[in-house]
């Protein structure tokens, strides 16, 4: 591992080391599978080139984060290895492909992916400056001018399910009755001790803003999105 951003220096050192090792001990290799490893995912190059990078804002936008990863064929991990999470915004980004492409190609995958993630992080950092804090200072729907940040101990379902992606999707939008998204979440943003924190303005609200309401309903009632409700008022 090397500090800094000189990926070429690291790859150069690795290439020279491999060449020296192979003068004394050849790695198992064939034309179909490339270098042979016990794990099928590492066949081919057996190379996982990675960087550790702090992306606190992009890390909150999972959908965009994963979209970039898929586009550039890279994997997102916590810095403590496979299947680990991050709690400080630092991620391990590495090439996903191993077989059928050269080592140079895969390092380029990683480089391109990280570059795109840095650009997204910078854009989101500017946007994050426009976020608003939850609390009683929010007096009207127009005060919710950016994504709402709740205190870490907030327990409401609004806090739990209001992601930056959902907020961006619904900001400024109204249901068929003319009730805005900001009106529906205002109470929960003002009162951080709310249990639910989001309230429908009409029947249509549950469908216009389904990405949020579906999650709240399933969490509270254990009633999934496509479940049917059957009433029975037969007192006998």
Instruction: Please report, for the domain that includes residue 88, its CATH number.
Output: 3.30.590.10
Total domains in the chain come to 2
> What is the pLDDT confidence band of residue 206, given thresholds at 50, 70 and 90?
very high
Q: Give a yes or no: residue 228 inside a domain.
A: no
Query: Which neighbouring-strand residues pair with 50?
Result: 94
Cα within 13 Å of Cα(177), Cβ side: 13
Same domain, 88 and 16: yes
Instruction: Answer whether residue 189 shows pLDDT above 80.
Output: yes
pLDDT, tens digit, 9 for 90 and up, residues 103-143:
999 999 999 999 999 999 999 998 878 889 999 999 999 99
Q: Which of 72, 102, 128 is the last residue of a domain?
A: 128
Average pLDDT over residues 197-217: 97
Bridge partners of 90, per DSSP, are 54
Domain assignment present for 114: yes
Which residue, 88, 106, 128, sits at the end of a domain? 128
Residues 205 and 185 in one domain: yes
Q: Give the domain extent around 112.
A: 7-128
Q: What is the DSSP string of 103-167?
A: HHHHHHHHHHHHHHHHHHHHHHHHHHTT-EE-STT--SGGG--SPEEPPTT---HHHHH--HHHH
Tokens at residue 103, please?
């080592």
142 shares its domain with 71: no
Shared-domain flag, residues 122 and 143: no
Percentage of residues in the chain having pLDDT higher than 70: 97
SS (H, E, C) 165-226: HHHHHHCCCECCCCCEHHHHHHHHHHCCCCCCCCCCCCCCHHHHCHHHHHHHHHHHHCCCCC
DSSP helix/strand/coil, 58: helix
Asked if residue 234 belongs to a domain, the reply is no
Inter-axis angle of helices 103-128 and 7-22, nearest 10: 160
Is 33 part of any domain? yes
Residues 11 and 124 in one domain: yes
* pLDDT tens digits, one per residue of 53-94: 999 999 989 999 999 999 999 999 987 766 567 778 899 999
**Are residues 136 and 57 both part of a single domain?**
no
CA distances from 10 to 53, 115, 116, 142, 160 (A): 16, 17, 20, 51, 41
CATH of the domain at 181: 1.10.135.10
Note the Cα 30 to chain centre separation in Å: 38
Question: Do 119 and 137 belong together in one domain?
Answer: no
Same domain for 89 and 121, yes or no, is: yes
At which of 113, 128, 143 does a domain end? 128
For residue 13, the 8-state DSSP code is H
> Cα-flanking dihedrals φ and ψ of residue 34, to 5°?
70, -140
């Amino acid at each position: 591992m090397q500090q800094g951003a000189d990926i070429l220096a690291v790859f150069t050192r690795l290439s020279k080391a491999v060449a020296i090792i192979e003068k004394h001990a050849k790695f198992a290799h064939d034309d179909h599978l490339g270098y042979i490893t016990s794990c099928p995912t590492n066949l081919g190059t057996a190379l996982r080139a990675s960087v550790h990078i702090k992306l606190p804002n992009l890390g909150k936008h999972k959908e965009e984060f994963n979209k970039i990863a898929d586009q550039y064929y890279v994997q997102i991990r916590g810095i403590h290895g496979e299947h680990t999470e991050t709690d400080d915004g630092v991620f391990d980004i590495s090439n996903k492909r191993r077989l059928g492409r050269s080592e140079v190609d895969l390092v380029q995958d990683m480089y391109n992916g990280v570059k795109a993630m840095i650009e997204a992080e910078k854009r989101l950092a500017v946007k994050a400056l426009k976020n608003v804090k939850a609390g009683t200072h929010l007096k009207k729907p127009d005060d919710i001018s950016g994504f709402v940040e709740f205190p870490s101990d907030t327990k409401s379902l609004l806090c739990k399910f209001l992601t930056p992606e959902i907020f961006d999707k619904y900001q400024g939008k109204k249901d068929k009755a003319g009730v805005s998204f900001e009106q529906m979440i205002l109470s929960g943003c003002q009162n951080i001790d709310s249990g639910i924190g989001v309230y429908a303005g009409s029947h249509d609200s549950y469908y216009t803003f389904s990405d949020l309401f579906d999650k709240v309903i399933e969490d509270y009632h254990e009633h999934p999105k496509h479940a049917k409700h059957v009433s029975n008022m037969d007192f006998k």
